[in-house]
Structure 1
Amino acid sequence: MNKATKGSNMMCESSRMMLPEHVEALRHRKEEQKKLPKHELDEQELEEISIVIMDSLKYKLEVKITYWKEGYYREMIGVVDLVDVQTKKIKPRVDDDIEYLFIDCLKQVERL
């Protein structure tokens, strides 16, 4: 008698296993459930963010940027090098590494 499954057929006990594909699918599903929706900025938040971005651009001040990318919020500290109004992107410089961020993916921008 197996104490985990009382009264079960012992012949079927050895066939309990998970295929690697099933394990990977469960792992992928768990990761998908951790993802967060993108934060929508209202006009006041957008105005505050744009002021901090323009100060960083003009005076080369470091800012802490919280942004959404592929379901997760990430942070970076750097100086804004470029604001592209047509494509609605900013280009922060972080330790000589440059990455473009969409303005609608920003959650928060703070002065340091």
Structure 2
Amino acid sequence: MNKLSIGSNLLWESSRMMLPEHVEVLMEHDRRRDEVEKPIVAEDKWTEIQYTIQEALQFNKEVTVTFYANRRIKHASGTILKINNDRLDLDVADGIDWIKMEDLLDVE
């Protein structure tokens, strides 16, 4: 089988001879592939989030928080310790996460 055979990786055939600049561009592309714009939370969803937070605080329930950080959507699970200065303090397995209320997307 040669590089022109069906099923060969013709696009990357010369990748053994890539310039450092090309490698850097490919790595930057991989980093940016998962980036998203910050979603807008609807008013009724925000009301539901606030209700879930209050219920979790009152009954010390574990929650899964979906939030936006560093141009990505992230998830964290734990118990809510408190809300202060527009920040949610979440007790997770490896410590405490501080999540801005404005970055919250969902709380389950």
Same fold (TM > 0.5): yes
Residue 44 of structure 1 and its aligned partner are, at CA, apart by 0.9
CA distance in 2, matches of 1:106, 1:63: 13
Does residue 19 (structure 1) correspond to residue 22 (structure 2)? The answer is: no
Runs of 4+ residues over 4 Å off in structure 1? none
Matched residues, number: 97
Does residue 97 (structure 1) correspond to residue 62 (structure 2)? The answer is: no
Local SS of the residue matching 2:76: strand
The answer (yes or no) to whether the contact 1:39–1:105 under 8 Å persists in 2 is no
Larger radius of gyration: 1
The answer (yes or no) to whether the contact 1:41–1:104 under 8 Å persists in 2 is no
- The one-character-per-residue Cα deviations of 1:42-98 (angstroms, maximum 9, x if unpaired) are 2111110011111111221111111111122221211110112xx321011012510
Unaligned runs of 5+ in 1: 5-15
Q: Which residue of 2 aligns with 1:81?
A: 81
Local SS of the residue matching 1:34: coil
Question: Normalising to structure 1: TM-score of the pair?
Answer: 0.74
CA distance in 2, matches of 1:96, 1:79: 12
**1:1-112 to 2 correspondences below 5 Å:** 17-84=17-84, 87-95=85-93, 97-110=95-108
Question: Normalising to structure 2: TM-score of the pair?
Answer: 0.76
Among all aligned residue pairs of Structure 1 and Structure 2, give the percentage whose two residues are the same amino acid.
28
Higher relative contact order (CA 8 A, sep 6+): 1
